[in-house]
């Protein structure tokens, strides 16, 4: 009898402490504290490359430290630093088979100050033929990770300069891709470019909670901390894009989940908590972060974007982008059975969020990497507006979304569920 009572007391006690612990760590007071800091005027809209952005990064690093996460980088601590360059062409030269061509026929995607390439340079060669999808084909060369010379069919003469898009910002260690408007590769050629190059240092913030047994398998929780900065066209005396929903809300979730999982300490898989920079200017932070991992070792990624307002289904609900691409959504729903919360497939598929958000780099490599959001993409009045302020958020509901993410991910971080992979063959 005595023994039984002890067992009952133990079970009741542990149930109570579990139920209590999630509310102790993930509660609206804490959500508001983090939101008020990240979205404060002090952070000046957290624009990539500005002091306000750095200030936000240092705050998040401090929160990761307080939570007891390990720094991801032995040298830079929680700050995952990387460099990008902005390059402006000063002069270029293009000689094909002995004849000089107009310099507009060469678009060199390179971070180098000076580049000189000829047929003996050992670059791979590729072709964009008449009828190809110019942008998609060009993208595949840019993302190949190899030095390329790409001969672009003359039928693209009118749209050729669009390829300058790839020049806007480059990773400092990016390979060279030279697009040449010419139908065929001549036997000999010379391509030269001289550029003015400005290097920009950027940083993600990354903390780690090592797994107990499956240390080499990763589960990622992420959001982006950068936003749009300050405008020179104030409205009603306000010039700061506070970005309370976009995406201070996601970072608030990441910080609270870090604290929760650290306390819970039942993760067999290693959990990585990441706050990305440069989402608003092209997703460079998540691209850099994603390249640091072997995709085969990443069991799941929960990217969290704009969870501060009610979804189109009302309270206690959110959607998952690319829902049908893996069975991760079904696992999350299974773990939420009996609760008032529900996940739905992304209803805004025309927006291509699965391909546009910070989950995309890993998803394209097969990782079950999804974005969770409540944002009504067809009617979110404060989206990318000066009015995206903490006062417009439903902090109580947002706290419930964060709790739901915590509970729904339990079997994945414990290693008892492994979501199916994205079939990269049928991606766009
Ligand atoms: Zn945004």
Could you read off the pLDDT of 403-423 as tens digits, one per residue? 999 999 999 999 999 999 999
Find the 247 Cα to ligand 1 centroid distance in Å.
7
Find the 83 Cα to ligand 1 centroid distance in Å.
22
Res 342 pLDDT > 70: yes
Res 402 pLDDT > 90: yes
Find the 225 Cα to ligand 1 centroid distance in Å.
10
Average pLDDT of the residues in 210-215: 97
Find the 361 Cα to ligand 1 centroid distance in Å.
17
Find the 1 Cα to ligand 1 centroid distance in Å.
60
Question: So what's the pLDDT on residue 185?
Answer: 86
Res 10 pLDDT > 60: no
Find the 280 Cα to ligand 1 centroid distance in Å.
5
Report d(CA 328, CA 334) in Å as an integer.
10
Find the 347 Cα to ligand 1 centroid distance in Å.
19
Average pLDDT of the residues in 160-165: 94
Report d(CA 147, CA 396) in Å as an integer.
51
| Domains parsed from the chain with CATH numbers | 27-82+202-426 (3.40.630.10), 99-185 (no CATH)
- Do residues 336 and 282 make contact, with C-beta atoms less than 8 angstroms apart? no
Question: So what's the pLDDT on residue 73?
Answer: 83
How many C-beta neighbours within 10 Å does residue 124 have? 13
Higher pLDDT, 178 or 9: 178
- Alpha-carbon dihedral of residues 366, 372, 376, 381, nearest 10 degrees? -110
Res 83 pLDDT > 50: yes
User: What is the per-residue pLDDT across 236-280, written as a single tens digit (0 to 9) for each?
Assistant: 899 999 999 999 999 999 999 999 999 999 999 999 999 999 999
Find the 238 Cα to ligand 1 centroid distance in Å.
18
Find the 313 Cα to ligand 1 centroid distance in Å.
22
What residues are neighbours of ligand 1 (ion), with CB under 5 Å?
A: 246
Find the 197 Cα to ligand 1 centroid distance in Å.
27
Question: So what's the pLDDT on residue 76?
Answer: 85
Res 352 pLDDT > 70: yes
3 band by pLDDT with thresholds 50, 70 and 90:
very low
20 band by pLDDT with thresholds 50, 70 and 90:
low
Average pLDDT of the residues in 287-309: 97
Find all residues with CB under 8 Å of 275, minimum gap 6, and list them.
57, 60, 204, 205, 206, 222, 223, 224, 225, 251, 254
């Amino acid at each position: 009898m005595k023994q039984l009572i002890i067992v009952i007391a133990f079970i009741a006690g542990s149930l109570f402490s579990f139920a209590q612990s999630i509310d102790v760590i993930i509660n609206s007071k804490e959500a508001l504290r983090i939101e008020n800091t990240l979205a404060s005027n002090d952070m000046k809209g957290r624009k990539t490359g500005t002091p306000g952005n750095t200030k936000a990064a240092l705050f998040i690093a401090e929160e990761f430290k307080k939570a007891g996460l390990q720094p991801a980088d032995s040298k830079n601590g929680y700050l995952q630093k990387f460099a990008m360059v902005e390059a402006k062409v000063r002069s270029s030269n293009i000689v094909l088979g002995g004849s000089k061509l107009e310099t507009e026929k060469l678009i060199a995607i390179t971070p180098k100050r000076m580049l000189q390439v000829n047929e003996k340079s050992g670059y791979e060669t590729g072709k964009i033929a008449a009828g190809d999808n110019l942008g998609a084909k060009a993208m595949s060369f840019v993302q190949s990770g190899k030095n390329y010379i790409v001969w672009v069919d003359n039928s693209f003469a009118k749209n050729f300069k669009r390829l300058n898009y790839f020049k806007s910002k480059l990773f400092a260690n990016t390979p060279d891709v030279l697009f040449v408007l010419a139908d065929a590769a001549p036997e000999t050629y010379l391509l030269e470019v001289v550029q003015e190059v400005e290097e920009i240092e950027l940083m993600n913030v990354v903390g780690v909670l090592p797994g107990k047994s499956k240390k080499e398998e990763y589960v990622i929780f992420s959001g982006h901390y950068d936003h749009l900065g300050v405008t020179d066209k104030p409205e009603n005396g306000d010039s700061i894009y506070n970005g309370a929903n976009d995406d201070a809300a996601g970072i608030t979730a990441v910080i609270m989940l870090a604290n929760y999982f650290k306390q819970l300490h039942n993760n067999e898989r290693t959990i990585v908590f990441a706050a990305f920079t440069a989402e608003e200017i092209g997703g460079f932070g998540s691209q850099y972060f994603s390249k640091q991992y072997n995709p085969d070792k990443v069991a799941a990624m929960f990217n969290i974007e704009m969870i501060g307002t009610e979804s189109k289904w009302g309270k206690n609900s959110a959607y998952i982008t690319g829902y049908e691409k893996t069975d991760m959504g079904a696992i999350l729903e299974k773990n939420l059975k009996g609760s008032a919360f529900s996940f739905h497939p992304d209803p805004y598929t025309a927006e291509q969020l699965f391909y546009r958000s910070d989950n995309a780099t890993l998803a394209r490599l097969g990782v079950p990497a999804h974005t969770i959001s409540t944002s009504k993409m067809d009617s979110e009045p404060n989206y990318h507006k000066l009015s995206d302020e903490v006062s417009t958020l439903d902090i109580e509901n947002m706290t419930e979304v964060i709790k739901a993410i915590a509970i729904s991910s339990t079997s994945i971080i414990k290693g008892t569920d492994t979501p199916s992979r994205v079939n990269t063959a049928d991606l766009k």
